[in-house]
A and B are shown apart, each in its own frame.
Chain A
Amino acid sequence: MSEPLAAPSITEIGKARTRNDGPLKVTGTARYASDHSFPNMLYAVPVGATIAKGKIKTIDTSRARQMPGVRAVLKRGDLIPISRITPSFGDALMLDEPRPPFDDDIIRYYGQYVALAVADTFEEAKAAADAVAVSYAAETPNVDPHLVAEETKVVSERGDAKKAYAAAPITIDAHYAISPETHNPIETHATVAVWDGDELTLYETSQGVVNHRNVLADMLGLPRHKVRVIAKFIGSGFGSKLWPWSQSPLAAAAAIKLGRPIKLVLSRPMMFHSVGHRPRIEQRVRLGGSADGRLMSLQHDYVNATSILDDYEENCGEATPHMYSVPNLGVTSGLAKRNIGTPTSMRGPGAVPGLFATESAMDELAIKLGLDPVELRLINEPQLDEGLGVPFSSRHLKECVTLGAGKFGWSKRTSPVASMKRDGATVGWGMATCSWLAARLDCTASIELRDDGTARVASASQDIGTGTYTVMAQMVAEMLGIAIERVEVAIGDSRLPMGTVSGGSMLTASLVGPISAAIAAAGEALLGLAVADQNTPFSGAKAKELQFRQGRIEAQNGNRPTMIFDEVLRGLKISAVSGQGSGEGSFGAQGKPKFSSHSFGAHFAEVTWQPDIARLRVSRVVSVFDAGRILNPMTARNQIEGAIVMGIGMALFEGTEYDTVSGAPVNASLADYVVATNADVPALDVHFIEYPDFNLNALGARGVGEIGLAGTAAALTSAIYHATGVRIRELPLRIEQLL
């Protein structure tokens, strides 16, 4: 009997690994959608409506069509029919704006596409688009920021919130609002559409290649297997690239019509019109508490703006029912239609804006009670999800709070407004807690084990900067006991085994089971081949005798040698064996779940305020998260930090402004829509407390893409109040409010 092989000592899970796609990103060799070009390719530039409400009277393309290099100027009636489909999230057929481009002559939002100029070069196409003359019968658009719900619905209720509120000794009744926010990934949406007469290939900026393939195929009337969506690298999206938007079928239809590849890249202003945004939200929170800080009643009512045709709901009340222990609770939601582009999920949809309101109200309650805001959270920590009546899968919010307070030095805080000073400036300290859902989506992955010791994992999923390429490789490396350099990761192609979207912080959790199952399936296939082949040491063994574990075939009772998969394959003279595995999602499942699954966290923020020049800066943030097992602390920390940066923007700078006369988003540029620069971001101190959540998957891993944004704005406005005595209830802050 041969010497037993030493157990592999590969520990990749939990390693702070540099990204395997890093060399491509730092050398500019990673290919994003608009980086692709093809022979005979034409450039397409859309023409957007310059009114927000009304009708097209005439479209005169005559001058544009005569311009040099122009191949076509397409408008309604010029393209193959593009169908309106019925969206279905569960069927991977989701989009927020089903209305096909050019569907009718009615304009419902500024920038709605009315024509498409196609030319040999981008300059020629742009000039032609500018030369298209459209006349409108314009009406006064409704972009009124004051939102009144046409009707409201109950999202969650327990007890009698109104009665308990009326009886409560201490109450808070406050209105909170969030300006519309625009995702603004640095990469604008783009489609490169290639039609060969039979098959359509789309190089897309997509957070969901399978969904995108399904939607486009159905909209264009093509069989799904004849459409392929490729997105190997995506310049992020934050939700704006989850679902297809109308420039995609437009580009594809133009490619089919003209029989030439089409490159369509949105301009930055178009990013404010037609690819979704977080809409304006107005919220009201009423808290009723006892004198010792116990919540007796919580009412959370909110309205979000939506487009004329589509009812997009920002689920602000998502975290409210489970965040706090409160016996009487009511959450209602409503919509208000406006002449705006259809909104869409933007990083942390629902709970992020919702927590701004509820956590701000908690801060106001703490102040009214004379209680430390940390103390108020601890007092009201629930023992179970009181909304669903089920235990939490894994909740360690109290530990996040106490650990964060300790690291921040919170005990040194003096509570009176403007009582803390440093270097001649006033310092404000604030905090907030947060949560974000943890769930899985249906997902499939395949594994190929090769005779050269490498393995390839494949799934039609995406890496939008979240580190998917790397964590998938880490999972496979550890599960197979091979060096990570030997793992090839294939994602970003709808032809791969059906993956799922990069959304809701759910992708990583969704991949764990399928990858593990795929490896098991490949191992089982290998086992089957090994026992059947006379030339292997496993020949004739019974199935129960052997197992495939960490990339090796080994005998249960040690009476056969252990062999690594590539050795077995070489012995079999087979180059590769593969297996596929699927996992069932947990998100949106019917009926009451067994557990309430979320990640949790706490932010502690410091702002520095110089009243003599009205200068407010964020100077320090400490954040602690209970986000399950962290597969890669390096990429996870980066995600959280990035989300906190976005939270600084959300609180201090960001807001899309609609002109009341034209309905246009007037600040449709990266100069006028203000996001955080490097100079706005101080040292960020992020910590994870790792409690693997094995209810979610075998590794106990949850996602961390969105939770960093939850609670950040409230922590900042809490700090701003502490420094200035001004309670910011509408985001973004305007320094004139502090003068």
Chain B
Amino acid sequence: MQPFDLVRAPDQRTAVAEGAASHTAQQGASVRFLAGGTTLVDLMKLGVERPGRVVDINRLGLDDIHKQANGDLFIGATARNSDLAHHPLVRGSYSALSQAILAGASTQLRNAATTAGNLLQRTRCMYFRDLASACNKRAPGSGCPAIAGTNRMLAILGTSKACIATNPSDMAVAMMVYDAVVHIQGVAGDRQIPLMDFYVLPGERPDIENVLEPGDLVTHVTLSSPSTGERSTYLKLRDRASYEFALVSAAVAITLANGAIASARFALGGIGTRPWRVTEAERALVGQAPSDKVFRNAAEICLRGARPQGQNGFKIELARRCIVHAFKQITQ
């Protein structure tokens, strides 16, 4: 690990000012916020993250979870994943979110990991995590050995010739389905970014993963108020029964009226360079009576443009089955 200064931010404004000293908030940042540390410390040990300054933001009081006056759910940036998953408001009205969080990692990790940390977690690509390996995400232009190498766990959606790294978050997939908005305090003031617009596709610059700028401190995430009668679930498919990243996962939410689908939202995890939600696929469900065929059709639309790699082409069929099964679970 590189040596670094560890400082504890006394307030948000100072944290933002600290962060602003870095030339980037993306790969290669020289200043990093420390919340749960489950991504940052992990990657600092590998040398993938090399901040010279680490700003502890755990005591800024950003951990509250409550229902706002407008009905939206307020989720503090440093609220622990386990607190979020077990919160009565979340279990009651955002079931897919609770399930998604609990499907990820382990209790120990969920007890330390935070909301913003989870959204910002980095890919698990083995080449990204190995400094001895070339990697366009770590060093743009150096190459992507995954494309011709071991890629069973990597992405088929949102990939580019430069990068096929999967976004591994479960929580982000569910949050996307609940129209999450990311609230940021930055150098120039506050702003809100819908989660759908938060992540950036790798393209030719896989080192840029999201829209955060130096100094940007995620303060909280809001979820739109739940629809009445909405049912949701999170289905995670993986090789072993627990403590593993997804091969494919799906967060699905649906409301029915008179035996037909009144509204539907769904997103895929484990298969895209970002959580994958395609609103056209959702629109195809509205007005239809629930059936395997209808769900499969929506899956096809969502999976349009999927580019299988050498070892992960099976994810296409697995994703279809995942979507169909998840929707069936909440419509039967």
Q: Is residue B291 within 8 Å, beta carbon to beta carbon, of the partner chain? A: no
CB neighbours of B242 from chain A (8 A): 677-680
Q: Which residues of B198-254 are within 8 A (CB) of A?
A: 235, 237, 239-245, 247
Q: Is residue B197 within 8 Å, beta carbon to beta carbon, of the partner chain? A: no
Q: Once the chains bind, are B1 and A674 in contact (CB under 8 Å)?
A: no
CB neighbours of A661 from chain B (8 A): 145, 148-149
A259 to B57, alpha carbons, bound, how many Å? 44
Binds A, one of B9-17, B264-272, B317-325: B317-325
Q: Which residues of B119-175 are within 8 A (CB) of A?
A: 124, 126-127, 130-133, 145, 148-150, 152-153
Q: Is residue B189 within 8 Å, beta carbon to beta carbon, of the partner chain? A: no
A659-B150 in contact given A127-B1, A127-B2, A130-B47 (Cβ < 8 Å): yes
CB neighbours of B149 from chain A (8 A): 659-661, 666
A69 to B48, alpha carbons, bound, how many Å? 23
For B3, give its contact among A127, A612, A669, A671 (CB under 8 Å).
Answer: A127
A613 to B236, alpha carbons, bound, how many Å? 10
Q: How far is the CB of A672 from chain B (nearest CB, A)?
A: 6
Q: Which residues of A604-639 are within 8 A (CB) of B?
A: 612-615, 617
Q: Which residues of A112-136 are within 8 A (CB) of B?
A: 123, 126-127, 130
Q: Once the chains bind, are A674 and B235 in contact (CB under 8 Å)?
A: no
Q: How far is the CB of B249 from chain A (nearest CB, A)?
A: 11
A671-B124 in contact given A123-B1, A613-B237, A614-B318 (Cβ < 8 Å): yes
Q: Is residue A525 within 8 Å, beta carbon to beta carbon, of the partner chain? A: no
Cβ proximity bits A717-735 to B, threshold 8 Å, 1 near / 0 not = 0000000000000000011
Q: How far is the CB of B103 from chain A (nearest CB, A)?
A: 11
- Which residue of the partner chain A has the closest CB to B315? A736
Q: Is residue A236 within 8 Å, beta carbon to beta carbon, of the partner chain? A: no
Q: Once the chains bind, are B150 and A677 in contact (CB under 8 Å)?
A: no
A126 to B2, alpha carbons, bound, how many Å? 10
The majority secondary structure among interface residues of chain A is loop
- Which residue of the partner chain B has the closest CB to A648? B240
A590 to B131, alpha carbons, bound, how many Å? 51
* Residue tally, chain B, CB below 8 Å to A: 34
CB neighbours of A659 from chain B (8 A): 145, 149-150
A671 to B104, alpha carbons, bound, how many Å? 13
Q: Once the chains bind, are B126 and A667 in contact (CB under 8 Å)?
A: yes
- Which residue of the partner chain A has the closest CB to B312? A736
CB neighbours of B245 from chain A (8 A): 671
Q: How far is the CB of A54 from chain B (nearest CB, A)?
A: 14
Q: Once the chains bind, are A657 and B239 in contact (CB under 8 Å)?
A: no
Q: Is residue A653 within 8 Å, beta carbon to beta carbon, of the partner chain? A: yes
A669 to B244, alpha carbons, bound, how many Å? 12
- Which residue of the partner chain B has the closest CB to A51? B132
For B240, give its contact among A666, A667, A680, A736 (CB under 8 Å).
Answer: A680
- Which residue of the partner chain A has the closest CB to B129? A669
Most chain-A CB neighbours within 10 Å: which of B124, B130, B237, B322?
Answer: B130
Q: Once the chains bind, are A613 and B325 in contact (CB under 8 Å)?
A: yes
CB neighbours of A50 from chain B (8 A): 132
Cβ proximity bits B299-332 to A, threshold 8 Å, 1 near / 0 not = 0000000000000001001100110110000000
Q: How far is the CB of A141 from chain B (nearest CB, A)?
A: 13
Q: How far is the CB of A651 from chain B (nearest CB, A)?
A: 12
CB neighbours of A669 from chain B (8 A): 126
A664 to B131, alpha carbons, bound, how many Å? 12
- Which residue of the partner chain A has the closest CB to B153? A672
Q: Once the chains bind, are A735 and B239 in contact (CB under 8 Å)?
A: yes
Q: Once the chains bind, are B1 and A662 in contact (CB under 8 Å)?
A: no
Q: Is residue A652 within 8 Å, beta carbon to beta carbon, of the partner chain? A: yes
Q: How far is the CB of B332 from chain A (nearest CB, A)?
A: 11
Q: Which residues of B87-125 are within 8 A (CB) of A?
A: 124
A326 to B131, alpha carbons, bound, how many Å? 54
A612 to B319, alpha carbons, bound, how many Å? 11
A662 to B149, alpha carbons, bound, how many Å? 10
Cβ proximity bits A643-677 to B, threshold 8 Å, 1 near / 0 not = 00000000011000101111010110101101011
Q: Is residue A739 within 8 Å, beta carbon to beta carbon, of the partner chain? A: yes
Q: Once the chains bind, are A666 and B126 in contact (CB under 8 Å)?
A: yes
CB neighbours of B241 from chain A (8 A): 617, 677, 679-680
CB neighbours of B240 from chain A (8 A): 652-653, 674, 676-677, 679-680
Residue pairs across A and B with Cβ atoms less than 8 A apart, 24 shown, are A126-B1, A127-B2, A130-B47, A130-B131, A612-B324, A613-B237, A613-B322, A614-B318, A614-B321, A652-B239, A659-B150, A660-B149, A661-B145, A662-B132, A666-B150, A672-B124, A672-B126, A674-B240, A674-B244, A680-B240, A680-B241, A735-B318, A739-B314, A739-B317
Which residues of A line the B interface, CB within 8 A?
50, 68, 123, 126-127, 130, 612-615, 617, 652-653, 657, 659-662, 664, 666-667, 669, 671-672, 674, 676-680, 734-736, 739
Which residues of B line the A interface, CB within 8 A?
1-3, 47, 124, 126-127, 130-133, 145, 148-150, 152-153, 235, 237, 239-245, 247, 314, 317-318, 321-322, 324-325
3 closest Cβ pairs, A-B complex: A736-B314, A679-B241, A50-B132
